[in-house]
A and B are shown apart, each in its own frame.
Chain A
Amino acid sequence: MARPGHRSYAAVATGALKELAVPLVSVALAVLAGSVIMLVSGFDPVAAFAAMLEGAFGGGRQIGETMLRATPLMFTGLAVAYGFRAGLFNIGAEGQLFMGGLAAAFLGIALAGLPRPLNIVLMLVAGAAIGAAWAFIPALLKANIGAHEVITTMMFTFIGRYIVSWLVTGPLKAEGQIPQTEALPVESTLPKLHEVLPFLADSRAHLGFVIAVVLAMFVWWVLKYTSLGYESRAVGFNPSAAETGGISVPATTVKALCISGALAGLAGVTEVMGVHLRLFDQFSPGFGFTGIAVALLAKNNPIGVIVAAILFGALSAGALPMQLEAEVPTKVIFIIQALIIFLVAAEQLARWVLGRGRQEARDVG
């Protein structure tokens, strides 16, 4: 029953399809281009993608691994998407993630012996706070003097990584040869999902996945229904109009980049609490950077981030089986990622190709 003032279900469905068309076509084209690269390099793309699909969705354990890898990408994807909504490019989510991981590794030991729910909440809050703090100086520099956040957050990523590298080789190093921190006590870790969902078999998927999904919905709500979200979007859409409308652009910029940093910090906390249970130098294979691709594919929509993160999680979970069975180097997924970014960003590409076709037809005719 169509109510007045509301779009019919058919119209909503068509609208959603149109929204989804660009991301879907982009992914398909990127996979196609990836196949061509594999063919040219002497690999079998059909076998490769079959192995990838099997490795990502072939069973309960595989699905769990995809969820495991989607979890940090959901946080970093949300981080980058929130920044983009406010007109900010947080390319330094990786650094904020490292600081979040640091908070978890440090606090998890310090809180040993306390109740698990309390520890989980405290560690998540601390990770978000340190992530926000790591974005604060770039945010101030952006808001007050216009220093481009792409350069400053990137520099803070390198600085953060060296701080972590120093701490895990020095002050926080556990006994033994390997530069890593002490393992967290069980009360400072996130429970595995297979404890309640036996279907996920012995996969490593953890509570962080659920937290990320709920958080994505929360961020969606914040952006859509709160004044904080409205101000962020207004500044991202048109800063001078927002300023005229009485919104403080510098204050909103600082808030938005710090929120983005907090979201990225959570990725580091949950990785340490749910997967590695300790901190070491290489604990993130670039989740912060893949988060950029996730956000762009989701067109900065927090709900879309859930789907895009699962897609990239599947790519990542399937990469190793692909290398083992079809011998294609796992790095090919970076190429596919980059192509997806290009294709989504260049919506114009379709129009350009079409327009050109029409022009040629005219030239001929």
Chain B
Amino acid sequence: MLADILTADLISSAVRMATPIALAAIGGTICERSGVVNIALEGIMLFGAFMGVIGAMFSGSAWVGVVTAVVGGMSLAAVHAFASVTLKTDQVVSGTAINILALGLTGFLMEVIFGHPGTTDPVSRLRPVFEIEGPTDGAIGTAWHWFSEIALSYTPIVYLAIIIAIVGHWALYRTRWGLRLRALGEHPRAADTVGISVTRGRYGAVIASGALGGLAGANLTLEQVGSFTEGMTSGRGFIALAANIFGRWTPGGSYAASLLFGFADALQIKLQLFRDVIRIPSQFFLMLPYVLTVIVLASVVGRAVAPAAIGKPYEKG
């Protein structure tokens, strides 16, 4: 039975499941590196997921949906930036308000546009990037099956997330943008003194995290599911924040940590197929990612150091 569980598609499924978490986690990394906590990622992802479906439905193109999802995420994030940077509101409270707002807005608009609550009509999805016929016989066939499943079976945003993780990681440590971003979160006064605008820098970081959160939502609706269901993010935004901490506030680390959560999710789905053999109620499998999040936080937090100025509004003076 183990051979039935540990298959190539378990690994590819883990990568797919990790993608929305990773995108939001990298968003969280960028945001928190600038000194702003972003609890709103859950709501941003949900709103992006919904806007993606709306864009795809009215244009007939899933790619337009990706753009509307990203813009939707950025606009909610702009509200968070305004509240936490300009108005100096408690960042966790502002994030919570945005999460409730996203829940209300998506539910309300769904009934206005579709005339019913629950799940939207299906829309066209993004196709996998590579669709190559390979050998199917013998050892070469098996090898090709594993390789193509693990490396070539994904839709565009899955690859995009990997690229964003690599480029983001490089940029955080090797570019002027990355240095400035880190300065904002570690020592905003020093950054201010050398002429970096804390306000502009933080706005940029929060809105960038909104773009990534929106993209995560687009991955959910336009690549994984093909429709929107109310509350469909089911805590992924919060899991992403844990992944960001586990990844020690780096894009690469965030991606790697998200793979762990993606794997828990993939395993959970896989094990449910064997429900007749493994007599454990499905709810215990569904719990797995959440339990894992707590364990990960419990084991790592004491040793991971957050940006020094995180959560604190900057007072010029």
Using a CB–CB distance below 8 Å, which chain A residues touch chain B? 37, 41-42, 89, 91, 137, 141, 145-148, 150-152, 154-156, 158-159, 162-163, 165-166, 169-170, 289, 292-293, 296, 329, 331-339, 341-342, 345-346, 348-349, 352
Contacts and interface: CB of A to CB of B under 8 A. Distances in A.
Contacts of A341: 93, 96-97, 100
Interface residues of B, number: 42
A333 B104 contact: yes
Contact of B87 (A163, A337, A349): A349
B297 A152 contact: yes
B284 A162 contact: yes
Contacts of A166: 281, 283-284
Interface stretch (B130-138, B252-260, B288-296): B288-296
8 contacts: A147-B301, A155-B290, A162-B284, A162-B290, A334-B100, A342-B94, A346-B89, A348-B89
Interface stretch (B105-113, B162-170, B173-181): B105-113
A335 B112 contact: no
Contacts of B238: 150-151, 154-155
B247 to A, nearest CB: 14
A331 B116 CA distance: 12
A232 B94 CA distance: 23
Contacts, number: 132
B152 interface: no
Interface of B: 39, 83, 86-90, 92-94, 96-98, 100-101, 103-105, 107-108, 111-112, 117, 234-235, 238-239, 241-242, 281, 283-284, 286-287, 290-291, 293-294, 297-298, 301-302
A156 B287 CA distance: 10
Chain B interface, >50% SS class: helix
Contacts of B241: 148, 151
A151 B294 CA distance: 8
Which 9 pairs between the two chains have the least Cβ-Cβ distance? A334-B104, A331-B107, A338-B101, A329-B111, A166-B283, A341-B97, A335-B104, A145-B302, A338-B100
Contact of A329 (B88, B101, B112, B242): B112
A342 to B, nearest CB: 5
A145 B242 contact: no
